[in-house]
Amino acid sequence: MPKIIGGSLEEHRQRTREKIFAALAALLETQEFESVTFSRIATAAGVGRTAMYNHFPDRESLLVEYAIHETTDYIAQLRAGVSDSATPRDAAIAYVHTQLDLNVSFHVPQTSGGATLTPETAARMRDHVVLIEDVLRTIVADGVASGDFAADLDVDSTVRIINGLLVGSSAKRYSRPALEDFVLRGLGAES
């Protein structure tokens, strides 16, 4: 019988999930998700392999739950990063800075070209991206309403393009001032 950690079964389950997510994050720093097995995660987390299956019936479920776990804190930090902005223009710049800073510390697994997710899992993964996009979508909508950004802006497409640029390793190739200028021009804001 495994030892219960925490004061209740619910706390035990939560702490075990946290250990699994921490182990997965550490493994993802050096490996792609496709090469990470339940056995490796269990060993790194200090839990039995059966514990993995008690929490996640399969790798796709683990991927989605991990993404949701990471996204919750990511969004809170993203919102905090833009909360003191006086204008939508300032918020857009703060959003760029915060996204770049958060990309260094958060690990939502990217799948390689060979990975195939079921349509249901792909949709659930897209849901967590939409939550992140909603932070920028609010900034852009506020900027259009205030006249800070172009009135004829396709908000959804613009948000996806900006996030596509800022998330992941591609943004590291450009300087912050270049990214700020690009984003502001894309929004139709005065530089």
pLDDT digits (tens, 9 = 90+) for 9-30: 888 888 999 999 999 989 988 8
70 contact partners, CB below 8 Å, separation of at least 6: 21, 25, 106, 107, 108
**What pLDDT does 34 receive?**
84
**Fold of the domain built from segment(s) 1-56:** Arc Repressor Mutant, subunit A (1.10.10)
**What pLDDT does 43 receive?**
95
CATH number among 2.20.25.90, 3.50.4.10, 1.10.540.10, 1.10.357.10, domain 58-187: 1.10.357.10
**What pLDDT does 6 receive?**
64
Higher pLDDT, 88 or 122: 88
